[in-house]
Amino acid sequence: MIIIANWKLNLTLAEIKSWVLEFNAFSSSYSLNKVTPVICPSFIYVSYLKENLLNAHIGTQDSSEFLEGEYTGEVSAKQLKDYISYSIIGHSERRKNFSETDDIVQKKARLCVEHQITPVICVSALEQAATLKSFRDIIIALEPLENIGSGIPAKPEFIEDTAKKIVDIIPSAKVLYGGSVTAENAKGFSKLKNISGFLVGGESLNPVYFINIIKKCDM
């Protein structure tokens, strides 16, 4: 299972150093059998995690739709490829707050693929998944809007049914679930058909909570 920590716009360097110490103590003494952890900090901290985090992959919360050029403030897949293995693309917060369209999401995802970065493409509706059917071997993160940050996860039946429909559209895709994932519900969700992991938001900010999710899914 792939379990991704999406820190969003949170954690200072001092807080991240403390987080890494806690996680490294766990990951260096606990042999994971089923889980691949991925940590997605703000861009500025990618290099620090690359140098200091043990036994986990690094990802970003976004990647530019542009490759290079006069695009102030952008960070491209070409620049990121030496640091990361995954990149979250099209999160609902970016679609809402930055007006990212399906077309922009596809451009970002294609550049990631071209630079050997696995895109984790977020969708909240099957219509969004349908725009991605030309892709192969990508990760789709199902994030129902009403369950993000609400503390109330989607019903297992809905998750399983929607994941199946996504796989029907993109047979080679792995589907993650995101939306109020905790250690209490992760184990049950991990048993659902066509669910290959989780995109974890708030619970990933505390290393103990995130580690507990990993442990539950690695049993």
Angle at 119 between CA 215 and CA 210, to 5 degrees: 20
Amino acid at 16: I
Cα of first residue to Cα of last residue in the chain, in angstroms, is 11
Structure tokens at 147: 């369950």
Q: Considering Cα of 144, then 207, then 88, then 119, what sign does the dihedral take?
A: negative
Nearest to 10 by CA among 203, 213, 208, 217: 203
Query: For residues 208 and 219, what is the distance between their CA atoms, to the nearest angstrom?
Result: 17
Structure tokens at 100: 């990212």
Active site residues: 91, 143
Find the helix packing angle between 13-27 and 207-218, rounded to 10°: 30
